[in-house]
Amino acid sequence: MSERRYWLMKSEPSCFSFDDLKARPDSTEHWDGVRNFQARGYLKDEMKVGDRAFFYHSNIADPAIVGIVEVVKAGYPDWTAFDPENEHFDPRGSKEKPLWFMVDVRYVAPLPRPVTLRELKGVPEVGDMVLLKRGRLSVQPVREEEWRAILRLAGMQEEP
DNA sequence: GCCAACGTTGGC
DNA sequence: GCCAACGTTGGC
């Protein structure tokens, strides 16, 4: 069995929040609508079943990591790109030659308390995080040391 | 709501 | 294949 990798996935809570994920059937949802080529690469090829990700709330007064999710289905075509009615429609791809991909994630657990971006900026151990270096990437890798440092900050003794 | 940063597009 | 213009993200 290959080693679990760690990620961070952003969502605007007004659009789709961590609690919204919890409320879904099986607490599972497609992570659709990502239209950035670097993030696409992660979704399509690198995120594997069993990998875990921080769920990050962006575009709010105090943006923060609020919880943990798990990848339950690896990369497959994002059908919202095929639907002209959908806001994420992209005519460059097709069902035969999909351009955009998504994974399915399942709610695992909230952090004991949210860890804010503001707070992370003051923590040397996470100073190299993609979140701090390249703020706009909506799906991004997290190093294992960073993952653990954030769990510790949040007061989580043991990963569920 | 503003605007800086930065990813993407398209003319050349 | 460069790079200016444009559009979007996301912190503030």
Under the banding of pLDDT at 50, 70 and 90, the label for residue A120 is: very high
* Closest listed residue to residue A46, CA positions, set A88, A108, A92, A3: A3
A136 contact to strand B (CB, 7 A limit):
yes
**DSSP-assigned beta bridge partners for residue A8:** A54, A140
Check whether A115 has a pLDDT greater than 90.
Answer: yes
- Choose between A5 and A93: higher pLDDT: A5
Under the banding of pLDDT at 50, 70 and 90, the label for residue A106 is: very high
Q: Which nucleotide is nearest to A136 (CA to C1')?
A: C9
* Average pLDDT value for residue range A91-103: 90
What chain A holds in terms of domains, given with CATH numbers, is: 6-154 (3.10.590.10)
A117 contact to strand C (CB, 7 A limit):
yes
- Give the per-residue pLDDT at A1: 58
Which pLDDT tens digit goes with each residue over A46-69? 999 999 999 999 999 999 999 999
CA of A17 to C1' of C2 (A): 41
**DSSP-assigned beta bridge partners for residue A101:** A77
A94 contact to strand C (CB, 7 A limit):
no
- Give the per-residue pLDDT at A2: 63
Residue A156: CB atoms within 10 Å: 18
pTM, entire model: 0.93
A58 contact to strand B (CB, 7 A limit):
no
Structure tokens at A75: 């990369």
* Average pLDDT value for residue range A121-145: 93
Lowest mean pLDDT among A44-48, A75-79, A93-97, A115-119: A93-97
Give me chain A's average pLDDT, please: 93
* Closest listed residue to residue A80, CA positions, set A67, A95, A69: A95
- Give the per-residue pLDDT at A123: 93
